[in-house]
Amino acid sequence: MPVLLILGLIAFFVLSWLWHRSRTLTRDCRWREDRSRAPEGRSFFRCASCGAETDLPRGKQPKHCLRQQ
């Protein structure tokens, strides 16, 4: 019985972490890559909704909203 409780708690924390990770962007965040403005070896992104801009290492995508609160 204690093994099931421990497995249940582990599953709960893993699932809640996955749920939170997939929900960090708001529905309004729509990141678009702009390759013409990208520095060498990086990717440049601009949010079509709020206008936030960021550059990241090539192959990475924004995972958080950068909108100013």
**What confidence score (pLDDT) does residue 33 get?**
92
Res. 50 pLDDT band, cuts 50 70 90? confident
pTM: 0.57
**Residue 8 carries which DSSP code?**
H
Q: Which domain holds residue 52?
A: 2-57
Predicted confidence (pLDDT) per residue in 6-49, tens digit:
999 999 998 888 776 666 555 667 889 998 998 888 999 998 88
Within a domain: 25: yes
- Is 48 part of a structural domain of the chain? yes
Contacts for 24 with CB less than 8 Å, ≥ 6 apart: 63, 64, 65
DSSP for 13-54, please give it.
Answer: HHHHHHHHHHTSS-TT--EEE-GGGPPTTEEEEEETTT--EE
Total number of domains in the chain: 1
Tokens found for residue 55: 């550059």
Query: Counting Cβ atoms within 10 Å, is residue 66 exposed (0-12), middle (13-18) or buried (19+)?
Result: middle
